[in-house]
Amino acid sequence: MKRSVMEKLFSVLLCCLISAPAWALANFKLNNVETKPGEINSYFVEKGNVNLPVTVIQGKQEGPVLLLTAGIHGDEFPAMFALQRLKNEIDAKKLKGTVVIVHLANLAGFHERRIALSPMDEKNLNREFPGDINGTHTEQVAALLTEEFISRADFLIDMHSGRTSGTLLPHVYSPFVGDKKLDKLTFEFAKATGMKHIVMYGERPRDPDNSISYPNTAMTRGKPGLTTEIGHLGERNEEDILADLEVVHNALKFLKMLPGSAKESPAPEIYNSLTSIASPADGFFTASAKVGDKVEKGDTVARITDYFGEPIATLKAPVSGIVLMINQSPPIKKGETPVTIAVK
């Protein structure tokens, strides 16, 4: 079967990107630590008060630099375990290019068992990019990731899971910034992860000096950056760990860093917008829908009761779509958004 013009153009673009001079067979230098071709090197990247546990896997052949990061939020565990295993699964001598692993970006949040925020300054790391090396602790972490890691990467996957209080349908965000070639490549990268549910996302600023999130910081610098969401409730299920590993191995094959072909989902579901439902009052939250449910506009998805157990509000779907994320914890405050619906 003849390939379409678009497929040919995409192949040329990918070949150009994975043969660019950003990668070479020389030692890979990160924070003044060098990793030789064919070696795996695990150490802490330290700058000021920031310490990040990293592993660099330097292949013996030319290829791209893939940056994999877990623990931007310290209570999202499956990807942390997946990347620990990945370190022992890849044979550096057979790898093309370089894999850089940030095992845990938010050490303080991890040890304090915090949801999203760092106990050092009460800030969400994924809202502080590109950071400030002279700022608060979280701003310094963001700056280090921007200046030392993203600057050396060609592709990025920011690996998340649901918060300890909620459930989610596994999905990948494919951001877009208005650069047709970059957006196209990023979407192909997202499909190559093999994840069935793909959310198109273009709501972040397109200013590299105000990029806000980690993947968007890569995108505003011309580099594809994805966010995966696998697992929830603060669990570390084997199924979720294996799903994270499958995403990474698919990415490595898509980038021709390892032999084989990426296994895309045979029927990916593409969503073009997200709608969150806010609670109108404080009280107790009880979901009546679950993740993966298809809902129609007007369907009841949750109820709010007061402190005496009396009903005070019913949350209804404002749009038709699929329940992507939903809170499972009873406490709710007015204005919080316990339900998110993905819309095609």
pLDDT in tens, 173-225: 999 999 999 999 999 999 999 999 999 999 898 999 999 999 999 999 999 99
Was domain 273-343 assigned CATH 2.40.110.10? no
Q: Distance between CA atoms of 185 and 39, rounded to whole angstroms?
A: 29
Look at residue 164 in the predicted model and tell me its pLDDT.
Answer: 82
Q: Distance between CA atoms of 303 and 315, rounded to whole angstroms?
A: 6
Mean pLDDT across 15-37 = 74
CATH T-level topology, domain 5-254:
Aminopeptidase (3.40.630)
Task: Report the residue count for the chain.
Answer: 344
Residue 92 DSSP symbol: G
Q: Indicate whether 15 pLDDT > 80.
A: no
Q: Dump strand ranges (E) for 219-338.
A: 225-229, 269-271, 273-277, 283-287, 294-295, 300-305, 311-316, 321-327, 331-332
Domain positions in the chain: 5-254, 273-343
225 contact partners, CB below 8 Å, separation of at least 6: 155, 156, 157, 158, 175, 186, 214, 215, 216, 217, 218, 219
How far is C-alpha 172 from the chain's CA centre? 7
**pTM of the predicted model as reported, rounded to 2 decimal places:** 0.92
Q: Distance between CA atoms of 36 and 19, rounded to whole angstroms?
A: 20
Mean pLDDT across 29-51 = 95
- What are 48-79's pLDDT values in tens digits? 899 999 999 999 999 999 999 999 999 999 99
Element (H, E) at 192: helix 180-192
> Helix crossing, 238-254 with 180-192: angle to 10°?
130
Q: Distance between CA atoms of 174 and 199, rounded to whole angstroms?
A: 6
Distances in Å between the Cα of 38 and the Cα atoms of 60, 83, 94, 124 are: 5, 19, 8, 36
